[in-house]
Structure 1
Amino acid sequence: MEETNWDCLGSDLTELILSHLPLSSIIRSSLVCKSWKIIISSSSFKTQVSARKKPWFFIYRQNNVFIKNNQVFAFDPESNEWIKLPVSASLLSKDLFTGSNGFCFSITPENFSFKPVLSDSWSQTSPLGYSRSNSLIGVYNVDKSSKVPRFIVVGGVRFNGNLVDLQDSLAVEIYNPNQDYWELCPPLPADFRPGNSSQWLCSALFKQKFFVLGIYSFFISFFDLEKRYWSSVQTLRPPGALFSYLLSLHDRLILAGLCNNFGSSPCFILWKIDEKTLEFSEMEIMPDELLACLYDNSSDEDDKFASLRCVGFGNLIYVFNDEHHKNYPACVCEMSNYSGKCNWRRLPSLPQPVNKFHKIVSFCSNVSLDMLK
């Protein structure tokens, strides 16, 4: 044929080809012609794309002095590019917030607010039973048929004047959006109390259990979301581990952390965790050249690794350095859903200009076509 006629492909084949594009490319493709717009706007196409696309990596950079210098970036792993997002006025007004599984949360001693990722509209819940900040927050569904998620808030700190109240045991609270009601549940075990905030703890939702891990203490316990009880506290520390993060990836519970075995050069390791026995088995080691890119290799300071952070979702694990004087070096590990093999690569640099910041919020989330429109 002298000219290519895209109509001869048929709608089914055109839909399949378009579904393999990155989300941002799909949005642009909807402007090409009327037939493509009809395909991309269909509910069946949106469902197919949502099931196939990899989660995005979000970072919110906060400046405590000049809030207008706050920045939001999102990394699309399929196009391998950062997208600089607009910072809405509603986001600038939020002092403390975090993200989890498709939502952003603002939690202060006075109120609890949430919004879907990429939305500008915040919703406020009824007040928490226990005022707090710097909590662990999870999003889950009661069952597969449930369309309205529930939120779980664990730990955090309460201030007595200007001092943190270390003796206060904050109850676990679960939010039911249908009734705008917070259910009080047993508090986080006392073993975690000395470091009760999200600065010292991480969490992972896996098979209707909310796991909590001490990043440096290696204490671990889970809260059963169905039976509403905490398991006994155990220690999950592979030999030589300096700190670690717990991640929930599809059908796997993963421990990711920095390890220094018998005086050798530190390495970043992934372990698979058996959620029933908490036994661990080594899966993957980050290539040395990638780890070297994440910190100042010329520094001899013992704490040069202390600013390494880790988040993950779906089949992706991101490891990054959140020091304010760095240009946010980061890498990603993509894990095969079938073989478990890992593919590591470095992320490109952030789009310039990059403002100075004092705090960073990072998380992974699925993104749909409707969110981008």
Structure 2
Amino acid sequence: MEETNWDYFDSDLTELILSHLSIPSIIRSSLVCKSWQSIITSSSFRTRVLTRKRPWFFLYGQNNVFLKNNQVFAFDPESYEWIKLPVSASLLSKDLFTGSNGFCFTITPENFSFKPVLSDSWSQTSPLRFSRCNPLLGVYDVPDKRSKLPRFIVAGGASFIGNLVDLGDRLAVEIYNPNQDFWELCPPLPANFRPGNSSQWLCSALFKRKFYVFGIYSFFVSSFDLEKRYWTSVQTLRPPGTLFSYLISLHDRLILAGLCNNIETSPSFVIWKIDEKTLEFIEMEIMPQELLSCLFDSSDEDDRFASLKCVGFGNLIYVFNEEHHKHYPACVCEMSNYSGKCKWRRLPSLPLPVNKFHKIVSFCSNVYLDVVRNN
């Protein structure tokens, strides 16, 4: 037929067709007609999309002098393009912006707020027991049908008494229960993480009901049992020659990704699979050297890799350079859920203009369609 009459398709077929669109196209499609909006806002469509869509990569640039120069970029792997997201006036006044598993968070000494990543509507929680700066955050589901929202765990970060850093801080860990709007105080981070206890020096990963904390440069690792509420003993996880690394939770495996300095070859970016029971590691993949070279243009061997950062989720691992002079170049490693084989690709350049930032916040997260319901 020269023209397609969508009325001939039943709702299941229409749902299947719409689910193959990228998320920005799905959101636009919800405005076409009431029938499509009903399909797109249904729970069955949301479940279908979640099983198909890969997580997005977010970069939030903060300028400490000119707040209006702050920018948020999101990379959609389905359409393989960057999207420049609007920066609301309320976000400009926040001390911390980060995200995890479908949610964005802001933290100030006065409040803790969250929202779905594509929504403009913030929800504010009751105050944290300990105000803090640059903590680790995690989002996990609980087997509670009464709760439509997951639990949020906040760990570490420098805490404050008034406007002064609390030198006696016990590296507080708190879990937020949205049903009761209540923060539960949990056993603190092990003392090994006290030096540099913020997200600038630590990373975290949720895997099999455990919240892992890992020292990017110290290589200390410990996990918090989310059901029994205890920390395991601190161990060291450092493959030979590793300069720094990041612990990442993918679909069915725990991954360590970082820069390795081999004597015989130039530094390389390596991915290891981690046995969560024994913490033994097996080398899986090495980034192609020509791709690693594209992330840098400095000839100073001492610090040329210091600006390399890594985040990941689902089956994607993103590696990028947070220096401004190259407009934050990045690449992605897509890992097969079955064979474990990797496919490396360079990401397109960020949409111009790209401002100069004093701090870059990055995270990888699923994108939920709750924003369609809200709008």
TM norm. shorter chain > 0.5:
yes
Is contact 1:90-1:120 (8 Å) kept? no
Letter in 1 for 2:104: C
User: Letter of the aligned partner of 1:252 in structure 2?
Assistant: R
- Residue 269 (structure 1) shift: 0.8
**Cα gap change, 1:301/1:140 in structure 2, threshold over 3 Å: closer, same or farther?**
same
**Distance in 1 separating the partners of 2:41 and 2:356:** 40
How far does the alpha carbon of each residue in 1:267-287 deviate from its partner, in whole angstroms, 9 at most, with x for none? 111111111111111111111
For each residue in 1:91-116, what CA deviation from the matched residue of structure 2 results, as whole angstroms up to 9, or x when unmatched?
A: 11212222111222222333322222
For 2:168 and 2:224, how far apart are their aligned partners in 1?
21
> Does the C-alpha gap of structure 1 residues 25 and 112 become closer, same or farther in structure 2, counting only changes over 3 Å?
closer
Equivalents in 1 of 2:163, 2:38: separation in Å? 57
Deviation at 1:37, TM superposition (A): 5.2
Letter of the 1:285 counterpart: I
Equivalent in the alignment of 2:201: 200
Is there any run of 5+ residues in structure 2 with no aligned partner, and where? none
Q: Structure 2: how far apart are the matches of 1:142 and 1:316?
A: 24
In 1, Cα distance between the equivalents of 2:180 and 2:363? 28
Change (3 A) 1:25 1:169: same
Task: Supply the AA of the counterpart residue of 1:348.
Answer: P
- Residue 355 to residue 173, structure 1, CA distance change in 2 (3 Å): same
Checking the alignment, whether the CA contact within 8 Å between 1:324 and 1:358 is kept in structure 2 is no
Q: 2-side partners of 1:110 and 1:5: how far apart? A: 54
Which segment is superposed worse, 33-42 or 314-323? 33-42
Tell me the residue number matched to 2:310: 310
1:369 aligns with 2:369: yes
1:35 to partner: Cα distance = 5.9
Report the counterpart of residue 328 of structure 1 in structure 2. 328
Q: 2:356 matched to 1:356?
A: yes
1:2 to partner: Cα distance? 6.0
What is the CA-CA distance between 1:30 and the residue it aligns to?
A: 4.7
SS at match of 1:49: helix
Residue of structure 2 in register with 1:82 after alignment: 82
Q: Does residue 46 of structure 2 align to residue 46 of structure 1?
A: yes
Code of the residue aligned with 2:355 in structure 1: it is N
Q: Which digits, 9 at most, give the CA deviation of each residue in 1:275-321, with x for residues without a partner? A: 1111111111111111111112x422411101111111111111011
Instruction: Name the SS for the 2:323 alignment partner.
Output: coil
Per-residue CA deviations over 1:134-185 (Å, capped at 9, x if unaligned) read 1111111222755321111111113578775554222211111222222112
> Do the aligned residues in 1 keep the contact of 2:60 with 2:70 (CA within 8 Å)?
yes
**How far did residue 322 of structure 1 move?**
0.8
How do residues 267-346 of structure 1 correspond to structure 2 at under 5 angstroms?
Answer: 267-296=268-297, 298-346=298-346
Aligned CA distance change for structure 1 residues 250 and 2 (closer, same or farther; 3 Å): closer
Tell me which residue corresponds to 2:172.
171
Deviation of 1:27 (Å): 3.4
Of the structure 1 ranges 113-122 and 186-195, higher mean CA displacement relative to structure 2 is found in: 113-122
The answer for the alignment partner of 2:102 in structure 1 is: 102
Give the secondary-structure state (helix, strand or coil) at the position aligned to 1:26.
helix
Q: Deviations over 1:112-132 (max 9, x none)?
A: 222221222222222222222
Residue of structure 1 equivalent to 2:257: 256
Give the TM-score normalised by structure 1: 0.92
1:36-185 equivalences in 2 (<5 Å): 36=36, 39-143=39-143, 145=145, 146-159=147-160, 164-185=165-186
Paired with 1:107 and 1:304, the residues of 2 have a C-alpha distance of 32
3-state DSSP of counterpart to 1:199:
coil
* 2:156 aligned partner, one-letter code: G
Q: Distance in 2 between matches of 1:301 and 1:132?
A: 35
Taking the aligned partners of 2:41 and 2:107, their CA distance within structure 1 comes to: 35
Question: How far off its partner does 1:39 sit?
Answer: 4.3
- Point out where structure 1 has 5 or more consecutive residues left out of the alignment: none
Q: Aligned partners of 1:344 and 1:144: how far apart in 2?
A: 39
Secondary structure, aligned partner of 2:292 = helix
In the TM superposition, what whole-angstrom CA distance separates every residue of 1:339-367 from its partner, at most 9, and x where no partner exists? 11111101101111111111111111211
Equivalent-residue separation in structure 2 for 1:35 and 1:178 (angstroms): 33
| Range with greater deviation from structure 2 (40-49 or 187-196) | 40-49
List 4+ stretches of structure 1 deviating above 6 A. 160-163
CA shift at 1:212, angstroms?
0.5
Aligned length: 372
| Structure 1 residues 176 and 302: alpha-carbon distance in aligned structure 2, compared to 1, 3 A threshold | same
Q: Which residue of 2 aligns with 1:215?
A: 216
Letter in 1 for 2:307: S
CA root-mean-square deviation: 2.2
1:99 touches 1:361 (CA, 8 Å); kept in 2? no
Q: Does structure 1 retain, via aligned residues, the 8 Å contact 2:59–2:361?
A: yes
- How many Å separate the matches in 2 of 1:240 and 1:163? 38
Segment of structure 1 superposing worse, 310-319 or 19-28: 19-28
- Shift of the 36–67 alpha-carbon distance from structure 1 to 2, 3 Å rule, reads same
For 1:144 and 1:257, the matched residues in 2 are separated by 37
- Where 2:299 maps in the other structure, the secondary structure is coil
The aligned amino acid for 2:188 is P
CA distance in structure 1 between the partners assigned to 2:29 and 2:108 by the alignment:
42
Q: Kindly tell me: are residues 180 and 28 of structure 1, through their superposed partners in 2, closer, same or farther at Cα, counting changes over 3 Å?
A: closer
TM-score by length of 2: 0.92
Query: What are the superposed Cα offsets for residues 188-213 of structure 1, whole Å, 9 maximum, x if unpaired?
Result: 11111111111110000111111010
Change (3 A) 1:9 1:240: same
- Is residue 201–residue 217 contact of structure 2 (8 Å, CA) maintained in 1? yes
